[in-house]
Amino acid sequence: MIERRRCVRIPESLSIVYEVVPGQTRKEYITKDISQGGMRFLINEFISKDSRLRIKISFHETLFSLEIWVKCAWIRKIPYSDRYEIGVEFVDMPSKAGDYLIGFIKDYLDTKAK
């Protein structure tokens, strides 16, 4: 099978909080995986493709967190459930946040390679 992704995804469970419109109810979830370009997680409500979300990602081993805008790249209903799986791509990520994320993924891959 040919890999279509541009970035390596790592199976990491990170705490996230998102809001579809700033100031509306914030919802908390856990990521299924994350890459330099985006992430995947489960949610309890439908969000339209191409919707923009504001997300805060907390890295459990450090005090660092990222607050960034993402775009819904895809969403699919989980069969026999009221939940959805969603894939988002990062947009307008500050360079400091991008550098941290690259380092986090590299450290993860280096640890798994040992």
CATH number at residue 48: 2.40.10.220
Would you say residue 73 lies in a domain? yes
Q: By residue range, what is the domain housing residue 90?
A: 15-113
- pLDDT above 90 coverage of the chain, percent: 47
Judge whether 100 and 64 are in contact, CB under 8 Å.
Answer: yes
DSSP H stretches of helix in the chain = 95-113
Asked if residue 5 belongs to a domain, the reply is no
Sign of CA dihedral 74, 72, 42, 83: negative
Q: pLDDT band for position 97 (50/70/90)? A: confident
Q: For residue 32, is it within any domain?
A: yes
Q: pTM of the entire structure?
A: 0.85
For the cut 80, the answer to whether the pLDDT of residue 46 exceeds it is: yes
Residue 24 lies in a domain: yes
Q: Find all residues with CB under 8 Å of 51, minimum gap 6, and list them.
A: 20, 71, 72
Model confidence at 3, pLDDT cuts 50, 70, 90, reads very low
Instruction: Report the number of distinct structural domains present in the chain.
Output: 1
pLDDT-based confidence at residue 114 (cuts at 50, 70, 90): low
Query: When comparing pLDDT for 114 and 26, which is higher?
Result: 26
